[in-house]
Amino acid sequence: MRRVFYRFGRPAVILAASAVFGAGISLFLTPGGLVPGGVNGISIIINKLTGLKVGTLSFLINIPLLITALYKFGKGFFWDTLFSLAACSAATDLFSLLPPITDDVIACSLAGGALSAVGVGTIMRCGSTTGGSDIIVKLIKQRFMYIKTGVIFFILDSAVAFLSGIVFGDWRIVVYSLLTITVSGFTMNKVLYGSDEAKLLFVVCNNCEEVVNALVDGLEVGVSTIDAVGGYTHHSRKIVMCAIRKQNLYKAKELIYSKDRTAFMIVSSATAIYGMGFKSYEDSEL
């Protein structure tokens, strides 16, 4: 994401993400009668009842939330959010002038959920939000940092989807809306955390030095060794510890096996790693 900033600039990335978000809402979700949840879901419900534009409604509903953001997160966050919100609202209204791409409700659910999540997730990776439930999620994340952003969105959005069922009395649409929310939550987690997920390796081996050299030379990663004592044999051993990108796991297994066929390897998942080659300490928690 940082390389994209350097090449295109942060405002340009937010504008592009807003366009993706607006396309998902206006070309798929709204024509399909689907409720994606959050403020946009509430806006779609009101749109069906009054005919007012979704983007305009979303902006108006966000005003009290923006005031809360100004108080809780400061002027910088407020102006960033206002810019992103205005861009998303404008893009949503502009795309609403185009004819729907499909009337297949399942296609609308899948495409709309994925596109809107890519837009919102990219904006959040830029350090901003689109207002609405994004602000609520950010407030919750301050208190419960261990909960993934996509999970919080899923809970809030599901509540709005069920509200639409109560208002319209059409529970079939609620089911499709929940499909949209599920796709959106999955996509959101991939956008926010996908590139950060890694594998943490612990290798108990006899040829420790050869294994370390193989990993360093073959994967160009940092490796540490830990002194250990076997619980049963009481023999001194070395444990190799290494954090790698998940796509390099197969190659790491081959390198380790080529140097020590008796190596005992433990592989665990790491959702965030800070330091050289991974996330910067300056990156905000999402």
Q: What number is the average pLDDT over the span 226-235?
A: 82
11 Cβ contact partners less than 8 Å away, ≥ 6 residues apart: 83
pLDDT for the residue numbered 136 = 83
Average pLDDT, the chain: 82
pLDDT for the residue numbered 272 = 66
Length of the chain in terms of residues written: 286
Instruction: Name the pTM for this structure.
Output: 0.65
In whole angstroms, give the CA distance from residue 36 to residue 176: 10
pLDDT for the residue numbered 111 = 92
Q: What number is the average pLDDT over the span 234-245?
A: 85
Environment class of residue 200 by beta-carbon count within 10 Å: exposed (0-12), middle (13-18) or buried (19+)?
A: middle
Q: How confident is the model at residue 42 (pLDDT cuts 50, 70, 90)?
A: confident
Q: Is 241 a residue whose pLDDT tops 50?
A: yes
Closest CA to 215 of 236, 201, 195: 201
pLDDT for the residue numbered 23 = 93
pLDDT for the residue numbered 6 = 43
Say what percent of the chain tops pLDDT 90: 9
Q: What number is the average pLDDT over the span 151-169?
A: 82
Q: What number is the average pLDDT over the span 234-257?
A: 85
Per-residue pLDDT tens for 247-269?
788 888 888 888 888 888 888 87
Per-residue pLDDT tens for 53-104?
877 888 888 888 888 888 888 888 888 888 988 898 899 889 989 988 888 8
pLDDT for the residue numbered 91 = 92
Q: Tokens standing for 152?
A: 């919080």
Q: How confident is the model at residue 118 (pLDDT cuts 50, 70, 90)?
A: very high
- The full set of domains in the chain, from first to last, is 2-195 (no CATH), 198-270 (3.30.70.120)
Q: How confident is the model at residue 18 (pLDDT cuts 50, 70, 90)?
A: very high
Inter-helix orientation angle 171-193/105-125, to 10°: 30
